[in-house]
Amino acid sequence: MKIDNLTPDFTIPDEILRRARRIRLLLFDVDGVLTDGRLYFSDNGDEVKSFHSRDGLGINLLQQSGVAVGIITARQSSLLANRARDLDIQHLYQGRKEKFPTYQELCEKLRLSSNEVAFVGDDVVDLPIMLDVGLSITVPQGHKLVKENAHWVTPNEGGSGAARDVCELLMYSQHTLGKMMAQFLTTDCRSF
């Protein structure tokens, strides 16, 4: 297998690749993007979320490749804080009903232009950021208005590999996907 020109399992239009090459920060919404969007509560009110392990590995690899990752969500969850900590996500913003001001603050803090940011959202509350970033992405089960205004729709659904799709898209466009995957084609377990 030629790992240096490894391609994702999906087709990517040239315009999306062009936009993806500039991305230095990838931001995610949570419910419906990193999860399937369903909200589970126990009898005593504890919230339960389900995250896909392949999404987590994709996020780790993307960060290793040099792209920062962040989360902006309207909900508040200790489960999400734990997941972000597990994935070493440095930019976690919870309880942000209006996400756009947080996005602007983060761009200023990291000295990034909007063209250097990608955002993955699934509902209309995500549109203000999606309309401003260099690469806006949604999932197949996203709201109709979101899909109409996104640059790209992931092949996999939220909570089922959509984040991995985005991470591989960015790594492929920036010529780091082969390098990131090559570390798994060795018997040296210290490579990851």
Q: What is the pLDDT of residues 26-58, one digit of tens each?
A: 999 999 999 987 777 777 877 777 888 999 999
At 87 the pLDDT is 96
- Position 74 confidence tier, pLDDT thresholds 50, 70, 90: very high
- Residue 2 in this model has a pLDDT that exceeds 60: no
Q: Which of 128, 120, 125 is nearest to 152 (CA)?
A: 120
Structure tokens at 114: 């909007």
Percent of the chain residues topping a pLDDT of 90: 75
At 164 the pLDDT is 97
- Residue 126 in this model has a pLDDT that exceeds 60: yes
Tell me what the mean pLDDT of segment 155-162 comes to. Answer: 96
What are the structural domains of the chain? 14-191 (3.40.50.1000)
Q: Please state, in angstroms and as integers, the Cα–Cα distance from residue 157 to each residue in 26, 41, 173, 187, following that order.
A: 18, 22, 21, 32
Measured distance CA(186)–CA(182) in Å, rounded: 8
Q: Please state, in angstroms and as integers, the Cα–Cα distance from residue 26 to each residue in 1, 45, 156, 182, 188, following that order.
A: 29, 31, 17, 23, 30
At 184 the pLDDT is 85
Reported pTM: 0.91
Question: What value does the mean pLDDT of the chain take?
Answer: 91
Phi first, then psi: what are they for 149, rounded to 5°? -105, -5
- Position 187 confidence tier, pLDDT thresholds 50, 70, 90: low
